[in-house]
Amino acid sequence: MAGASDIEALKSELLAAVDGAGDEAALEGLRVEALGKKGKISLMMRSLGQMSPEERQVMGPALNGLKDTIGEAITAKKAAMEDAALDARLATERADVSLPIRPEPRGKLHPVTQVMEELAVIFSDMGFTVAEGPDVEDDFHNFTALNFPEGHPARDTHDTFFMKPREDGSQMVLRTHTSPVQIRTMMSETPPIRIIAPGRVYRCDWDQTHTPMFHQVEGLVIDKGAHMGHLKGVLMDFLAAFFETDTVEARFRPHHFPFTEPSAEMDVKYSRVGEAVKIGEGDSWMEILGCGMVHPNVIKSCGLDPDEYQGFAWGMGVDRLAMLKYGAPDLRDYFANDTRWLAHYGFSPLLQANLATGLS
Ligand code: 2U9
């Protein structure tokens, strides 16, 4: 029959075994061996029945105490094993968030993409939305609706790329300006309209300042009370934001476009700073964009009443804006796909243009 010394011996033996258990399976084996139905402690408990009441009074609590002690030791050892496993996993999976990202970013945004982003940010802030349309256009949207009469010499100044004639004799063109986008918007939406239309345009021309494909951004406002004062305000605010200056000095010279009446070219004062220019200082004037009030014939072509609605519009070259702001001097380099040029003149894709922390 088991005595107090047997209980002490079993306790030491089991505690040592729990302490030495190498993994959770060994621990589970120990639990069965000690506390299971046929375990050592259970067998000892069974012998309580053969004891005298006095012995039972001593041995009963002692055996229950042993059962609790071993149960607690197993639970504690199991928790320690789980903690150690978690610590080991965390050590192998640790990430140093202060390290620069890998692989190092190598791609750059093209200056034209950067300028397009900047334009969208500036004009969105003024309440404009960005509109897009197809590169291949029909004659109506590219010319007729914009008040270029058929056979009129103004069509020739656009150096148009014509597609193969279709069976009915009509010919699609590569759009020579983004103005067809505004035509489509005026025909499908109800004023007030405030949009910018950035995108690729095509003209058959190739030298240091002309490429057969280039980028334009045009803007259009159609509303009942729109006037030249609004046009001037929008353009002055745009130039100040884009060239990041408080002082824009501008003049409007009368000009002619078929789609606007009156029409003007806008010049700004500038000085040269290395390859780029500084707008708002200096003594020279530079033409920056064309603009005007939308011609009543254009408003009529889009199904709107020119006695009710008027509007203003402007257009400028995005590539030229990029050259002025960021200084890459030869337009042909913009489309040469030279990664050394892009590494020098490109922009980080991780730094998005915004008005709060700066455009570029
Ligand atoms: C609609 C009505 C009017 C868009 C305009 C200009 C003046 C202009 C040139 C600048 C340099 C093109 O890239 S460039 O060669 N554009 O001077 N564009 S007003 O006028 C519109 C457009 C659409 C319905």
Residues 129, 10 within the same domain: no
179 CA → ligand 1 middle, Å: 7
Q: Per the domain annotation, does 65 fall within a domain?
A: yes
Q: Which amino acid is at 252?
A: F
Distances (CA, A) of 320 to 64, 66, 250, 356, 360: 91, 89, 18, 25, 17
Domain of residue 62 covers 4-92
Residues 160, 42 within the same domain: no
Do β-strands 276-279 and 213-223 pair in parallel, antiparallel, or remain unpaired?
Answer: unpaired
User: Of the candidates 41, 61, 92, which is a domain's last residue?
Assistant: 92
Q: What is the pLDDT of residue 206?
A: 85
Residues 204, 149 within the same domain: yes
Pair 109, 349: CB distance under 8 Å: yes
Pair 200, 215: CB distance under 8 Å: yes
Residues 258, 141 within the same domain: yes
Residues 38, 167 within the same domain: no
- Reading the block at residue 89, the tokens are 């996993």
Residues 11, 140 within the same domain: no
Looking at ligand 1, which atom is closest to the CA of residue 289? 10
Q: Per the domain annotation, does 99 fall within a domain?
A: no
Nearest to 257 by CA among 174, 179, 196: 179
Q: Per the domain annotation, does 279 fall within a domain?
A: yes
Residue among 316, 319, 323 to mutate when testing ligand 1 (max atoms within 8 A of CB):
316
Q: Per the domain annotation, does 26 fall within a domain?
A: yes
User: Of the candidates 64, 92, 120, which is a domain's last residue?
Assistant: 92
Q: What is the pLDDT of residue 1?
A: 56
Q: Per the domain annotation, does 352 fall within a domain?
A: no
Nearest to 158 by CA among 208, 201, 218, 203: 203
b/e code 186-221 from CB counts within 10 Å (16+ = b): beeeebebbbbbbbebbbeeeeeeebeebbbbbbbb
- CA-CA distance, 209 to 232, in Å (whole number)? 27
Nearest to 136 by CA among 171, 169, 112: 171
Q: What is the pLDDT of residues 101-120, one digit of tens each?
A: 787 778 899 999 999 999 99
Residues 159, 85 within the same domain: no
Distances (CA, A) of 201 to 97, 215, 218: 44, 6, 11
Nearest to 235 by CA among 224, 253, 249, 214: 249
Classify 358 as helix, strand or coil.
Answer: strand
Q: Per the domain annotation, does 164 fall within a domain?
A: yes
Instruction: State mean pLDDT over 317-325.
Output: 93
Pocket around ligand 1 at a 6 A CB cut-off:
177, 179, 182-183, 216, 218, 220, 257, 259-260, 289-292, 294, 298, 313-317
147 CA → ligand 1 middle, Å: 12
Residue among 119, 179, 300, 319 to mutate when testing ligand 1 (max atoms within 8 A of CB):
179
Distance of CA 138 to the CA centre of its chain: 33
Q: What is the pLDDT of residue 2?
A: 64
Backbone angles phi, psi at 352, to 5 degrees: -80, 140
Nearest protein Cα to ligand 1, atom 17:
290
Average pLDDT over all residues of the chain = 91
Q: Per the domain annotation, does 351 fall within a domain?
A: no
Q: What is the pLDDT of residues 64-105, one digit of tens each?
A: 998 999 999 999 999 999 999 999 999 899 888 888 878 777
Cα–Cα–Cα angle for 177, 183, 186, rounded to 5 degrees: 145
Residues 119, 78 within the same domain: no
Query: Would the annotation count 261 as a binding residue?
Result: yes
CB neighbour list of residue 61: distance below 8 Å, 6 or more residues apart = none
Tally Cβ neighbours within 10 Å of residue 46. 10
User: Of the candidates 92, 124, 148, which is a domain's last residue?
Assistant: 92
Any idea what the CATH number is for the domain that residue 146 is in?
3.30.930.10
Confidence band (pLDDT; 50, 70, 90) for 52?
confident
167 CA → ligand 1 middle, Å: 32
Number of compact structural domains in the chain: 2
pTM: predicted TM-score of the whole model, two decimal places:
0.73
Pair 287, 267: CB distance under 8 Å: yes
Nearest to 10 by CA among 82, 50, 53, 59: 59
Residues 81, 115 within the same domain: no
Residues 138, 270 within the same domain: yes
84 CA → ligand 1 middle, Å: 71
Q: What is the pLDDT of residues 166-215, one digit of tens each?
A: 999 889 999 999 999 999 999 999 999 999 999 999 999 888 788 899 99
Pair 48, 63: CB distance under 8 Å: yes
Looking at ligand 1, which atom is closest to the CA of residue 298? 24
Residues 217, 296 within the same domain: yes
Residues 175, 320 within the same domain: yes
Q: Per the domain annotation, does 61 fall within a domain?
A: yes
Looking at ligand 1, which atom is closest to the CA of residue 317? 13
